[in-house]
Amino acid sequence: MHALCIPPFRSFHASWSLTPAADAARAATMVHAGASPSWEQMWAAGLQPGQAFDVGSASATLLGCLSRDSYAGRTGMRALVPGCGRAYDALALVAHGFDEVVALDLAPTAVQSARAFLAASEDAGAARVTCVEGDFFEHAGTYDFIWDCTFLCALDPSVRMRWAERTRTLLAPDGVLAACVFPIAPNKVGGPPFALSPQLLKDLLEPAGLRCEVVEVDDSERHVPGAMKGGNLPGTALLLARPAAAS
Ligand SMILES: C[S@@+](CC[C@H](N)C(=O)[O-])C[C@H]1O[C@@H](n2cnc3c(N)ncnc32)[C@H](O)[C@@H]1O
């Protein structure tokens, strides 16, 4: 097996992709455009906490969001983290009060890494996280809260409308999607991560039947992938979206 390079990701111009040869192989073997096998290759190459996109802890953007409002006010509320990686954010959602958090990832090694992180955390809340290996586009369920953090930006742009529709399908009638809009980098070309903007998410989510609210985040709440720590960060915003029929 050849060694795969995990990019240092010091600058946002860096990519989360593998080598050019691996990118070409990915294009040829993709199951569908939103389920690239390159993610498993990246994880299986030994992605460590704090490398590439991995923050090493819960996203500051999520912690800021949860500090401003209560999203788990009833018993029995469920949250979903699609493309969860090591599931740091899932544990933060349990701490916020969700009774069950489903941490979903396509890559088997990501799911193993999430389970290992949760087991090592010695946090009793870890028992409320269910790690699921699977494709978001095939996932079924009903959730009160969905936290999208560097999941949309990791997906091929051709599947964005399907991402919005699947997100809408998975949300309870009074559910909330919270999305970390990152990286906001207007001049960035290509990806992953593909550049996002609040307007781009609105243009995807409003036709799917969601009302959107954009929340500006201050520096302390910016999303910081591990390999970007101390570097030149692209912007972050928070977007909250609710089914349009909900009052
Ligand atoms: C950029 S990483 C972000 C991981 C995590 N949210 C974080 O911030 O550390 C994107 C993750 O999405 C997962 N992924 C990609 N396509 C997916 C799909 N169709 N369904 C579920 N997970 C997927 C990848 O395996 C990868 O772990």
Q: Which amino acid is at 233?
A: L
Q: Is residue 10 part of a domain?
A: no
Tokens of 92: 């933060």
pLDDT at residue 31, as a whole number: 72
Check if the beta carbon of residue 171 is closer than 8 Å to that of residue 243: yes
pLDDT at residue 12, as a whole number: 36
Find out whether the beta carbon of 64 lies less than 6 Å from any atom of ligand 1: no
| CATH code, domain carrying 128 | 3.40.50.150
Q: Is residue 37 part of a domain?
A: yes
Q: Is residue 9 part of a domain?
A: no
Beta strand 210-216 with 78-82: parallel, antiparallel or unpaired?
Answer: unpaired
In Å, how far are 79, 94, 104, 133, 182 from 144, measured between CA atoms? 6, 13, 15, 20, 23
Find out whether the beta carbon of 150 lies less than 6 Å from any atom of ligand 1: yes
Q: Is residue 112 part of a domain?
A: yes
3-state SS, 155-206, equals: CCHHHHHHHHHHHHHHEEEEEEEEEEEEEECCCCCCCCCCCCCHHHHHHHHC
Find out whether the beta carbon of 151 lies less than 6 Å from any atom of ligand 1: yes
Find out whether the beta carbon of 182 lies less than 6 Å from any atom of ligand 1: no
pLDDT at residue 87, as a whole number: 98
Give residue 53 CA to ligand 1 midpoint distance, Å. 10
Total domain count for the chain?
1
Find out whether the beta carbon of 184 lies less than 6 Å from any atom of ligand 1: no
Give residue 121 CA to ligand 1 midpoint distance, Å. 21
Tokens of 151: 């999941």
- The pLDDT tens digits along the chain (247 residues) read 333 344 433 333 345 555 556 555 554 455 799 999 999 999 999 999 999 999 999 999 999 999 999 999 999 999 999 999 999 999 999 999 999 999 999 999 999 999 999 999 999 999 999 999 999 999 999 999 999 999 999 999 999 999 999 999 999 999 999 999 999 999 999 999 999 999 999 999 999 999 999 999 999 999 999 989 988 899 999 999 999 976 5
Q: Is residue 5 part of a domain?
A: no
Q: Is residue 89 part of a domain?
A: yes
Helices (H), 15-57: 20-29, 38-44
Q: Of all protein residues, whose CA lies closest to atom 3 belonging to ligand 1? A: 150
Nearest to 238, CA basis, from 188, 203, 197, 208: 197
Q: Of all protein residues, whose CA lies closest to atom 9 belonging to ligand 1? A: 54
Q: Is residue 139 part of a domain?
A: yes
Find out whether the beta carbon of 143 lies less than 6 Å from any atom of ligand 1: no
Burial group, residue 234, by CB count within 10 angstroms (0-12, 13-18, 19+): buried
Give 177's strand partners.
Answer: 146, 241
Find out whether the beta carbon of 191 lies less than 6 Å from any atom of ligand 1: no
Domain range for 34 is 20-243
Q: Is residue 143 part of a domain?
A: yes
The rounded distance, in Å, linking the Cα atoms of 124 and 119 is: 10
The rounded distance, in Å, linking the Cα atoms of 183 and 204 is: 17
pLDDT at residue 20, as a whole number: 58
Mutate to test the pocket of ligand 1, among 109, 112, 151 (most ligand atoms within 8 A of CB): 151
The rounded distance, in Å, linking the Cα atoms of 156 and 145 is: 24
